[in-house]
Amino acid sequence: MKTIGLIGGMSWESSSEYYRIINKTVKERLGGLHSAQCIMYSADFEEIENLQHQGKWEELATLMINFAQRLEGAGADCIVICTNTMHKMAEEVEDNISIPLLHIADATAERIVEQGLGRLGLLGTTFTMEEDFYKKRLQEKYNIEVIIPSQSDREIIDRVIYNELCLGTIRQSSKEKYKEVIERLTSDGADGVILGCTEIPLLISQEDVEIPLFDTTTIHAKSAVEFALK
């Protein structure tokens, strides 16, 4: 079994889901008392969030490279960034390590392609929804058309992520708002919706809506297990 290197803490609520899903999947695959060989570097999200909203992405890239190099030095065989937004600097991280980085958008896109879907709604932080680092990869590498919510809906999605989900707060009223956004994306022609923030699956799941949802947390965590057990 290879050792999975996890960059977590952004937020720890979703990082704990990675740990749970990875170990549960290894147990299901191997049985008995098996669990995953993994190492996590857990960042202080307060520092990360402040730098994000100050637009200090170069400083964030330096931090992410440092986290990845520490994991590689500790014996990790791959890097898993346990957040969609911080894949904004995935290429910089890849360029500064000698082990594979398992990209969350690639793992998700492969599932979408398997289901034969081509027009996906994207929910996530404002950074993920509005900037190109995520959408462009899906479009250019996998020919997936990405549509995003209206500006007012994007503000709702982002606010719930940072002010509620990253603090471990789950509200039924926010779930209803998310469902309404998903309904509007469906009306706009989406044939599936990417839950493109690793906290969103804490709030909403497939049983809440009819349109196919792509839970990036679960997909990414399981792709790490696939790598580890090859």
Note the pLDDT tens digit of each residue in 52-72: 999 999 999 999 999 999 999
The Cα 28–Cα 42 span in angstroms is 26
CA distance to 62, 70, 86, 135, 192, per residue, from 67 (Å) = 9, 5, 12, 25, 33
Of 25, 83, 198, 217, catalytic: 83
Of 38, 78, 166, 197, catalytic: 197
Q: What is the mean pLDDT of residues 181-189?
A: 97
Please confirm, yes or no, whether 83 is among the known catalytic residues: yes
Tally helices (H) and strands (E) across the chain: 10, 7
The Cα 57–Cα 35 span in angstroms is 35
Beta bridge partners of 78: 4
The Cα 22–Cα 35 span in angstroms is 8
At residue 131, the pLDDT reads 96
Note the pLDDT tens digit of each residue in 114-163: 999 999 999 999 999 999 999 999 999 999 999 999 999 999 999 999 99
At residue 160, the pLDDT reads 98
Is it true that the peptide bond before 173 is cis, omega within 30 degrees of 0? Answer: no
Q: What is the mean pLDDT of residues 183-211?
A: 97
pTM of the model: 0.96
At residue 29, the pLDDT reads 97
Joined together, the tokens standing for residue 112 give 């979408």
Which band of pLDDT confidence, cut at 50, 70 and 90, is reported for residue 5?
very high
Please confirm, yes or no, whether 197 is among the known catalytic residues: yes
Domains belonging to the chain, first-starting first, are: 4-103+219-229 (3.40.50.1860), 105-215 (3.40.50.1860)
